[in-house]
Structure 1
Amino acid sequence: MGTGATPDSLGVLGSRFILAIDASFIPKSGKHTEGLGAFWNGSQSRSETGLELSCLALISLTGQHAFPLDIRQTRPKQDRADRLEQYLEQLKDVFSRRLDGLSGQLRAVVADGQYAKKMFMDAVHAEQIAFVTKLQSNANLLYPFTGEHSKRRGARRKWGGKVDFKDWSGWQSVPGDTQERVWTRVVWAPHFARFLRVVVIERLDRKGQVKAHVVLCSTDTTMPAQEIRALYSARFQLEFVFRDAKQFGG
């Protein structure tokens, strides 16, 4: 995709899309394979010996088609290579070399919870693009203080308390499925040193009791809650890229 590409010449990509990033584990036996190391195997929920591929792909928001842009093999820890630093380097390389013709078309960079790090948020924000990801269910988030400040010396109070994921006072209710409740609010995330639009999805059992909750967020605080959820769901199209690549490669 050259620098002369325009939205009209992008065909199916002429509508907005997201840039998704994720890594996939490849089982591998033996001891002499290049890049062999301990990587997280999501299907087994544990680290195992094998290989890992990191992929960045464009996902169209109309047909949700995935178009791989950059795939790299992750170097293992024994090579003194930090996994997250490798992901970040790959992301920055794609920003600098591959997105010339996509100005104004890229809605967000979307990644799962392992990428919920300040360095990824800062890198994406520098490109003036939203970063959508998943936070820990007990994420440390603070309410901005909105009350009257007491007349005393010293700095004004900034925060009104820590977010309690069981108390939804002041949160906006968002329509969801019958077996869930959805809430959204802009809060401060000390770990990332920025305000985030947070979306909490409570999963309900048959009796209407909360059995679990998921916390999504966007660095774009003006992004609607429904859009944050839709963008995060769209990233799963990347799994088909991994499936097809593994089937083709045997």
Structure 2
Amino acid sequence: MGPSASAKHSCVKLGAVQTPSTDLRKKADDASMIEWYLFMIKERSEEWMAISRTIVADAFFSAFDFVYGITKLGFNFVGWLKENAYLRYQAVPDPHAPRRRGRKAKYGKTEDFSNPDMSIFNSFIYTDSKGVATRCLYAIVHSRTLKREIKIVICPGKDGKPIVYFTTELSMSSDRIVGFFRTRFQIEFDIRDAKQFTGLQSSQTRDRQRLDFAFNLSFTTLNICKTVIREDYPNLTLAQFKRLMFESDLASTTISTY
């Protein structure tokens, strides 16, 4: 788990929590994975709330139980929707339609991602960190699965299929929604760097507590390295910095020995 830091979208790991086994979840009243993650977030909600009120996760967590639990704790949620997500437009009353008995329609037709209704959607240009500009669409719709109004942003994907981002915070700007979700991938890059440079996979123990210590030590070391690089060696990559530290330590040891 780690939020983005500064405008450079650099990830800072706050902690590594191991996914529980089926046996452990059975001991916890047979809790589902969604319930386990919600419990974990609730335990750290005060600490995280002081940093950010936005939780970002992939499509697995775009389910009613998780989104409802997150918003109940006071967080906003930014996620990604699958192509078969059932979304409906808010109904727009026709002033010329004859009056009829019964309740008025609350929602209009179902959203078709391949052919969005431009009378509902607005367009904007999203520019990423590399300067690439993309035309995207946004609108507020109703999600039957999440049982609430959400704000969605539709961007074209590399394979031609639309990518649908969403948030429970209806006032959040559209470019911020896309930026939040795309920055999430920095977590994956941190895991890659920890494997390559700070020994994330080096521990051979099978003890759960020792593994917990080893994982968090690896990410803490990575955080320190990135902080030193940012402040003192901004032109070095992590690989170059590790080699510099190794050779400096080797030279220091050799000089002190002889």
TM-score (norm 2): 0.63
For 1:51, the equivalent position in structure 2 comes to none
Name structure 2 gaps, 5 residues minimum.
203-258
1:127-142, aligned counterparts within 5 Å? 127-142=73-88
Instruction: Establish whether residue 157 from structure 1 lines up as the match of residue 105 from structure 2.
Output: yes
Q: Which residue of 2 aligns with 1:226?
A: 175
Matched with 1:143 is 89
Amino acid at match of 1:218: T
> How far has the Cα of 1:91 moved from its partner?
3.6
1:10 maps to none
Match of 2:149 in 1: 195
2-structure distance, mates of 1:241, 1:179: 26
Which stretches in structure 1 are left out of the alignment for 5+ residues? 1-55, 205-209
1:173: which partner in 2?
Answer: 123
Tell me what 1:111 maps to. Answer: 57
Deviation at residue 139 of structure 1 after TM alignment: 1.7
Contact 1:92 1:123 in 2 (8 A): no
Pick aligned residue for 1:185 from 127, 132, 139 = 139
Secondary structure of the 1:174 match is strand
Larger Cα-atom Rg: 2
The Cα of 1:123 is off from its aligned counterpart by 1.1
More helix by share: 2
Higher-strand-fraction structure:
1
Give deviations 1:84-124, integer Å, cap 9, x for gaps.
9235423432332x343454541310001111111110111
- Cα deviation, 1:60-101, whole Å, max 9, x if unaligned, reads 254432223241134259x869999235423432332x3434
Residue equivalent to 1:16: none
**1:245 deviation in Å?**
4.2
- Please tell me the residue identity of whatever aligns with 2:5: S
Distance 1:152 1:67 in 2: 58
Q: Distance in 1 between matches of 2:145 and 2:21?
A: 27
Tell me if the contact between 1:66 and 1:237 (Cα under 8 Å) persists in the aligned partners.
no
CA distance in 2, matches of 1:143, 1:234: 29
- In structure 1, distance between residues paired with 2:71 and 2:98: 35
Aligned-partner residue type, residue 116 of structure 2: D
Number of residue pairs matched by the alignment? 189
1:121 to 2:67 alignment: yes
Secondary structure in structure 1 of the residue aligned to 2:188: helix
| Cα RMSD for the two superposed structures | 3.0
Question: What is aligned with 2:39?
Answer: 92
State percent identity of aligned pairs.
22
Deviation at 1:136, TM superposition (A): 0.6
